[in-house]
Amino acid sequence: MLGAALTAALLEVSAASVTYDVAARVDSRVRSNEDPAEDAPSIAGDTDITPTLGLALRDGNTALMLDYAPRISLREITAQPRTEIQHIGRLAADWRPERGLSLRLSQDLVLGAVNLFTTDVLPLPDGDGSDPDGPLRPPEGGGPLQPLPEADTVYFLSSATTLTANTSWLGRGWQLGGSTGFSISGGLDGPAREAVPMQYGPRFDVSLSHALSSLSAITTSVSVNHSRFSTGANNTVVTLTEGWGRRVSRRTSLQAGAGVSVVNSLEAPTDEEDPPEDPVGGPATEVPRLELLPNLTFSVGHHIPSRTADFNGSLGTRITPFVDRLTGRVYPRADLTLTGSWMLGPRVRVSSTAGTAFAVGGATGDRIINGGVSASWFLTRWVSVDADTRSTWSRSPELPAARLNWAASLGLSVRQTGIL
């Protein structure tokens, strides 16, 4: 019986399609140096070496994908050279048990020395750029800008487990989807946690979409996010939104949303030597705050087709509750993000991004301005040259002066795919 089972398993695997993706990338970078020492140079140089191995198993309505990309960083090679390593991995499983139903289970992991300004935390294929622990610049399609930590590099952990389900069982033009998961991220040792506190908690969201026509749709969504921080802060954000999307023309589309968020937050206790007294005579303690905050979004996308300069651009703005992962505070904040990408022929791609964010509604918080330009030149199907520049200006109430960071890099990527 055991032999029959092994034979069946062997036949099943042999009938499946197994593909591989092997890549290697080398980046050389110059950047502003954050070393506070008086004799430290104002400019530093780094080199990153990132090999990538990806495997995919597809069999009928099931697919398994595994990616591993360790990044070896040779930091400050002209002044105080040191080696930093971060391990980056992703495991995903897709299953379509029947028509109209799809399930996806994914696990993302980052572990090691991470510079949150000069590196993308999850540089793996098929990333959506929305991970809050990713690069501290506007993600593709818009998203929250995150102020920079004071520390240059932190010993960092990021783990996100997500289960997603989508179904069209409700009928033609209807789409029901939801996801649930648990994430943990932040510094692993004392100095790292002072720069980026450990943050963990569950999340849940569900959405119902209905196509009003072939050009427009409405979506009702509910999300719940709970976060606890190693500093003692914690918050729960429950959001109800109504969204609307419409394709105005073949080249232009609009999206808008309005809703409300209920925020229950507790800030980290202060470190005052003589804490104020509460009305009953004991030391004062932080009291949870219950707030009702607006959730407004609007974006417009435009496409200009061309064989020599195909352009895709988007402009997005929103006013939403912002959870600062460095302090654990929650406050209403406005974000404005502008992105654009050009395909200059079949081999050259240029993209740019810019954004700003600031507290609104009388709240106090960080101000940040962020921008960058990147370009890729595909020498062949498997080889490309990549260039990237980015800069961030930030002003925090907790810091005595504003900070300006910049970096410019040039890289070479080699990739090979095939069937095993």
Q: Give the pLDDT of residue 125.
A: 39
Question: Which of 18-22, 305-309, 379-383, 402-406 comes out lowest in average pLDDT?
Answer: 402-406
pLDDT tens digit sequence for 339-372: 999 999 889 999 999 999 999 988 888 898 989 9
Q: Give the pLDDT of residue 404.
A: 87
Q: Give the pLDDT of residue 310.
A: 95
- Whether the Cβ atoms of residue 331 and residue 358 lie closer than 8 Å to each other: no
Q: Higher pLDDT residue, 155 or 411? A: 411
- For residue 239, pLDDT beyond 90: yes
Of the pLDDT bands very low, low, confident and very high (cuts 50, 70, 90), residue 403 is confident
pLDDT tens digit sequence for 274-319: 444 444 444 445 688 899 999 999 999 999 999 889 999 999 999 9
- For residue 17, pLDDT beyond 70: yes
Q: Higher pLDDT residue, 28 or 80? A: 28
Q: Give the pLDDT of residue 184.
A: 93
Q: Give the pLDDT of residue 271.
A: 60
Q: What percent of the chain has pLDDT over 90?
A: 55
Q: Higher pLDDT residue, 105 or 80? A: 105
pLDDT tens digit sequence for 131-151: 333 333 334 444 566 666 766
Q: Give the pLDDT of residue 145.
A: 64
Task: Return mean pLDDT, the chain.
Answer: 84
Give the C-alpha distances (Å, rounded to integers) separating 15 from 10, 99, 141, 210: 9, 22, 39, 39
Q: Give the pLDDT of residue 27.
A: 92
Q: Give the pLDDT of residue 42.
A: 80
Q: Give the pLDDT of residue 278.
A: 44
Q: Give the pLDDT of residue 20.
A: 94
Record the pTM. 0.82
pLDDT tens digit sequence for 51-72: 999 999 999 899 999 999 999 9
- Whether the Cβ atoms of residue 198 and residue 229 lie closer than 8 Å to each other: yes
d(CA 27, CA 219): 42
